[in-house]
Amino acid sequence: MGAGHGHHLHFHGHSPVHHLPAHLKLLALVGFVLTVVLTPRTAFAAYAVYLLLVLVAQRASRVPFGYFAKRMVVEVPFVLFALLMPFVATGPRVDVGPLRLSEHGLVGGFALLAKGTLGVMASLVLATTTEPRHVVAGLERLRLPGQLVQIMGFMVRYLEVVTGELSRMKVARESRGFRATSVRAWPVLATTAGALFIRSYERGERVHLAMLSRGYTGSLPVTHPATATPAQWRVAGMLPAAALATLLVVVTR
Amino acid sequence: MHVPDGFLDAPTSIGAAVVAASGVALALRGARRELDDRTAPLAGLVALFIFSTQMLNFPIAAGTSGHLLGGALAAVLVGPCTATLSITVVLLVQATLMADGGITALGTNITLMGLVGVWTGWLVFIALRRVLPKRPLWVVPAAAVAALVSVPTAALAFSLLFDVGGTVDVPFATVATTMVGIHTLIGIGEAVITALAVLSIVVVRPDLVHGARPSLERRTLTIREGVSA
Amino acid sequence: MTTPVLEVRGLAYAYPDGHQALFGVNLHVHQGERVALLGPNGAGKTTLVLHLNGILTAGAGSVSVSGLPVTEPNLMEVRRRVGVVFQDPDDQLFMPSVRADVEFGPANLGLRGAALEARVVAALDQVGMLDFIDRPPHHLSFGQRRRVAVATVLAMEPEILVLDEPSSNLDPASRRELADIIRSLDVTVLMVTHDLPYAYELCPRSVVLSDGVVVADGTTREVLTDDALMSAHRLELPFGFDPRTIPTP
């Protein structure tokens, strides 16, 4: 829910993680998260290892941890949901201090929190080290349907242009003494949204005209397909491979 | 309402992913009818519009604020198929660039917001449009009701998924009443903001509001004298 | 006389929202000419431009490019022949990098590999932006983006270059650099502009469009010194600029 960030989605750098092709990072992310999701909820040791692994990947990216941690606030609504679990889940109860909590809910809440947090951290390693346009190219390489690739490409291309328009509209509102403090501000903010829609739609039309003018017929020409070396495959494979090995050790013991 | 990784069990997540993929495939076909080859740039900018309005915080009281989810709004403005594609891409961007919504929960999130949220809103909207007078301004109350219904319906769909594949045993009634209750309140805000936003657009550019198009008319050309250049 | 590069006859058009913008426009541009299209806001200049490469379809009348009528079956060839540079370079640069953007047009024409690369390099070199080939467009200055926008069109090797407000929002140095680039190009130019000194500097001939019809056509000097014409169509020379006192460029 909390989409409170603007456009500084990626942290510029030259670490080995930054240099991996985006499609490999996406595959590694999916592999790692799938392993985490499939882990039994009481395998506490496995979760500790996963946390260590994702922290190693994070440090390898040389993105400051403070920046990384701040971006984790997207998780907050579901942290609240997970914290409710011990109170509302069914099954036998245990006494924790003054509270009577559901045992099942405690374990379930822990698992939700652990899996969700690891998912967010792993996704952030991708997000902080990969330029948005490269994520789009990576998804294209992974055979996301062409239309969706194009739509996402345009969204990413104009992200800064439109957030720029939005902040200029905010400056214009505030220069005339407007402050959004209560429900009475809604009509003004909704008008801003309306104006933003008109601007976005008109830009979409102008972009379309510019594309047609240069011979667009519905699909983008692919001129430089992304490639990856075996060494890059090995580097990207380390995180999911280590996670999978952990899972296998835990399950077979 | 962005579901994170590991929230629902694997069979449910896979089932939701199959539903999402089929829905998006149908929307890809349908959007060509709504927008022809303008689909990609326009849906891209509409996706960006929805993404940006989700960043526009609406103050409620005592320092708390909420934001628009935008499913019904998008459906009324650009048609349901383009809306589904735009919201799908917003979710894709949020999952891959902002870690908002799990990458293995994408199918779930697309199903809830891109399919249930958009299409509930759209169906309510066209049902109302049929009974309301055929004037552009009447799309405003229709859009409000569509938004009001669409948000708690998506919450109900989430409760059903959680009942089928939730990883914690919570009685369905508890989840459903809490989720639908909270989201009815959110839906009221959504309805008011959607109505105000649609109103501000329909008064200046009624031709841009997909849902208002049936009530617009055509005109004829005139020729004036000039010089030959 | 030879076939004009651009021939517009009796062109009229109304937008789907009912607003009619063109009321019977006639215009000829011959090879090697540089023509300025002048007119107040809302005169229909941009609408006319959108007809030249078939983005809008004439409600009445016709457009042809070197004899080829602008109709559905000819669109791809028409769009190769007519290169339109739009006013806002952000609309024109929609791809993730300068290279991808300049490639877009020639790649749509079917070019690949070395031939494509040669076109891209040549086009960027003509506008002096070759060093920026791998940058994303939003990292460039406004003037640089405008020059790359010109390159995206040059890469298609057009017969006529149509520039919509090329000098808008440019600082004086960028404005000068762009003028030098335009003068160095061996291509027919139609330049839509409010910038009358720029028109005077670059275009020997000017056409005035007002309320959706052509109201004047002559040398830029004649047009700019016809005070009655100028004031009747809301055209005003900037303070201190008098074409009578400046020698013809």
Predicted ipTM of the assembly:
0.90
The fraction of chain A above a pLDDT of 70, given in percent, is 97
The span from the CA of C181 to the CA of C161, in Å, is: 12
Give me the residue from B218, B219, B227 closest to C216, CB to CB. B227
- Show the domain range for B176: 10-212
Per-residue pLDDT band for A3 (boundaries 50, 70, 90) equals very low
Q: Looking at per-residue confidence, does A200 or A6 come out higher?
A: A200
Per-residue pLDDT band for A6 (boundaries 50, 70, 90) equals very low
Domains of chain C (ranges; CATH) run 6-96+160-245 (3.40.50.300)
Of the ranges A31-40, A216-225, C1-10, the best mean pLDDT one: A31-40
Three-point CA angle B60, B65, B66, nearest 5°: 105
Is residue A182 scored above 80 in pLDDT?
A: no
Residues in chain B closer than 8 A to A5 (CB atoms): 55, 98
Q: Which two tokens stand for residue B75?
A: 């459906």
DSSP string for residues in B88-150: HHHHHHHHHHH--S-STTHHHHIIIIIIIIHHHHHHHHHHHHHHS-SSGGGHHHHHHHHHHHH
Binary contact (A74, B55; C-beta < 8 A): no
pLDDT of residue B67: 74
Q: Looking at per-residue confidence, does C173 or A188 come out higher?
A: C173
Give me the residue from B41, B90, B92 closest to A211, CB to CB. B41
pLDDT of residue A83: 87
Q: At what angle do helices A146-157 and A132-141 cross, to 10 degrees?
A: 180
C56 burial via Cβ count (<10 Å: 0-12, 13-18, 19+): buried
Per-residue pLDDT band for A128 (boundaries 50, 70, 90) equals very high
Binary contact (A215, C80; C-beta < 8 A): yes
Q: How confident is the model over C26-54, as a mean pLDDT?
A: 93
Stretch 5-64 of chain B: residues touching chain A, C-beta under 8 Å: 5-7, 10, 13, 24-25, 28, 31, 37-49, 51-61
Residues in chain B closer than 8 A to C28 (CB atoms): 229
Is residue B119 scored above 80 in pLDDT?
A: yes
pLDDT of residue C243: 86
The span from the CA of C173 to the CA of C180, in Å, is: 11
Q: Phi and psi (nearest 5°) for C110? A: 105, 0
- Residue C169 at interface with chain B, using a CB cutoff of 8 Å: no
pLDDT (tens digit per residue) in C196-231 = 999 999 999 999 999 999 999 999 999 999 999 999
The fraction of chain B above a pLDDT of 90, given in percent, is 56
Give me the residue from A210, A215, A224 closest to C92, CB to CB. A210
pLDDT of residue A221: 77
Give me the residue from C50, C84, C96 closest to A133, CB to CB. C96
Binary contact (A123, B99; C-beta < 8 A): yes
Look at strands C60-65 and C68-69 and give their pairing.
antiparallel
* Distance from chain centroid for Cα C57: 18
Domain count within chain B: 1
Are B86 and B74 in contact, with CB atoms under 8 Å apart? yes
Is residue C176 scored above 60 in pLDDT?
A: yes
Is B220 part of a structural domain of the chain?
no
pLDDT of residue C126: 94
pLDDT (tens digit per residue) in B175-223 = 899 889 888 988 998 999 899 999 999 988 888 888 888 877 555 567 7
Q: Looking at per-residue confidence, does B223 or C81 come out higher?
A: C81
Give me the residue from B28, B57, B174 closest to A145, CB to CB. B28
How many Cβ pairs closer than 8 A exist between chain B and C? 56
Q: Which chain B residue has the Cα nearest residue A10?
A: B97
pLDDT (tens digit per residue) in B32-90 = 887 777 788 888 999 999 998 887 777 765 556 667 889 999 999 999 999 999 999 99
3-state secondary structure of B66: strand
Binary contact (A212, C55; C-beta < 8 A): yes
Per-residue pLDDT band for A165 (boundaries 50, 70, 90) equals confident
Instruction: Name subunits touching A (3+ CB pairs < 8 A).
Output: B, C
Is B217 part of a structural domain of the chain?
no
- Residue A74 at interface with chain B, using a CB cutoff of 8 Å: yes
Is B222 part of a structural domain of the chain?
no
Binary contact (B169, A90; C-beta < 8 A): yes
Q: Which chain B residue has the Cα nearest residue C59?
A: B221
Q: How confident is the model over C26-31, as a mean pLDDT?
A: 95
Q: Say which CATH number the domain at B199 has.
A: 1.10.1760.20
Residues in chain C closer than 8 A to A215 (CB atoms): 76, 79-80, 105, 108-109, 156
Is B224 part of a structural domain of the chain?
no
